[in-house]
Structure formats: C-alpha cells, structure tokens
C-alpha cells in the first residue's frame, strides 16, 4: 500500500476528505509565512475528526523548542516534520526532547542533495524529498511551491531511511512520478488546491482514489 500525506490542511472539511479517502498522514503547517499556516489551537480543533489510525504531522521550519511545545500540547501530533536547515544533531535533539518520530525534509536539485541525505540515517524516522527553490526565486517558501525535481535522481539514494516524494505532484504526473522514482510514500499539498492555502475536497478525493488505483 502506498502511503499518502495530504499536507497544509487548514479546514475540517479538508481533514475529513483526507481521512475518508484513505490518507495515511495529514499535515499541519506551523510556519507563519505560508498561506497554509494554522495556529496550534486551530490544528487541534480541525484534527479531532481524524481517526487515531491517521498520523498527524506537525510541520515546522527551524522551530524553537517553545514553538514545538505549543503544537504538541494542542495537536498531540504523531510525527514532527522539520523542513528547514536542521542538522542531524538538531533532529536527534528534537526526537529525544519530545519523544516523537521526526521526518526531515531534504531540498533537492542535484544528485549531491540526494546523497547528502544519508547523514540523517539512524536519526530521522523518515525523509521527505522536495524540490529546492531556485536561488534567484523571490518569495518562495521552503516547500509547497508546486515545483518538481528530477525524479531519476532518487535512484542514487543509498540510505536506509524510509522516504516520501514531494514537490509538484498532481493527478497529471502521479503515475509517472511513482514509476520513475519508485516512491512508496507520497506527500502533496498544492496539487489538491484551488489556490495556495485553499484545499479542494474533490481534488483530495480524486487524488487518493488515483493512488489506490
């Protein structure tokens, strides 16, 4: 079974569509510059409808311990996702302090980015390979920009940590992305939106049905 994480959820309707469609993970973003950001209290409220079998992922970018503590108290996440410049030492520290699984996002544009991810082996519980924003791009977020990277690069990954494929995925390229990358876990946000931060429940359902198919 392919695991699917629907990320950037900010309404109870989107959460309901995700778990009804069979998503294995639901993600909530705690990074204020993102149009998908929610408060800890809001995330805790809208996540109530999801059954305990669906993993709740709290997404941060270089968070302080206090920021994580607030989210843990309100949401009771299953996993923490670190999408910034966190080092292996910081990932280990977060795991030990909060006693939760940690997913580390890796921004990819070259084969060296893929190979460098092995420094998190034995530390992170999962990796997420996402497209690295272009250096000259202005106003782009650390992730969720709807950009894809060269999926053939993933063939060079020699680490042992399970990983998710992210970046520019939608109904039109899902089959190709999975075939080329060999991904067994998918993460998407913009691919099921009408515009940044506005999820479309019909698109969520259709994407999850496509994955099952």
User: Which CATH number goes with the domain that contains 201?
Assistant: 3.20.20.70
| pTM for this prediction | 0.93
Distances (CA, A) of 57 to 44, 136, 167, 183: 11, 30, 17, 19
**Mean pLDDT rounded to a whole number for the chain:** 93
Number of domains in the chain: 1
- Give the pLDDT confidence of 3-57 residue by residue, as tens digits: 999 999 999 999 999 999 999 999 999 999 999 999 999 999 999 999 999 999 9
Catalytic machinery residues = 7, 130
| Helices and strands (H and E) in the chain: how many | 7, 10
């Amino acid at each position: 079974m392919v695991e699917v994480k629907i990320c950037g959820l900010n309404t109870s309707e989107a959460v309901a569509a995700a778990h009804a469609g069979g998503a294995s993970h639901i993600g909530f973003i705690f990074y204020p510059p993102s149009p998908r950001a929610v408060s800890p209290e809001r995330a805790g409220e809208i996540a109530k409808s999801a059954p305990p079998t669906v993993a709740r992922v709290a997404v941060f970018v270089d968070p302080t311990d206090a920021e994580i503590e607030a989210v843990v108290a309100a949401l009771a996440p299953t996993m923490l996702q670190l999408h910034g410049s966190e080092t292996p030492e910081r990932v280990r520290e977060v795991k030990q302090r909060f006693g939760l699984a940690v997913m580390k996002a890796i921004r990819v544009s070259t084969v060296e980015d893929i190979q460098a991810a092995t420094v998190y082996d034995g530390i992170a519980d999962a990796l997420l390979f996402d497209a690295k924003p272009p250096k000259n791009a202005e106003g782009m977020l650390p992730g969720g920009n709807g950009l894809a990277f060269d999926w053939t690069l993933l063939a060079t990954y020699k680490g042992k940590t399970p990983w998710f494929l992210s970046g520019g995925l939608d109904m039109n390229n899902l089959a190709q992305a999975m075939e080329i990358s060999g991904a067994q876990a998918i993460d998407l946000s913009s691919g099921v939106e009408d515009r940044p931060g506005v999820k479309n429940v019909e698109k969520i359902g259709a994407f999850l049905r496509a994955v099952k198919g």
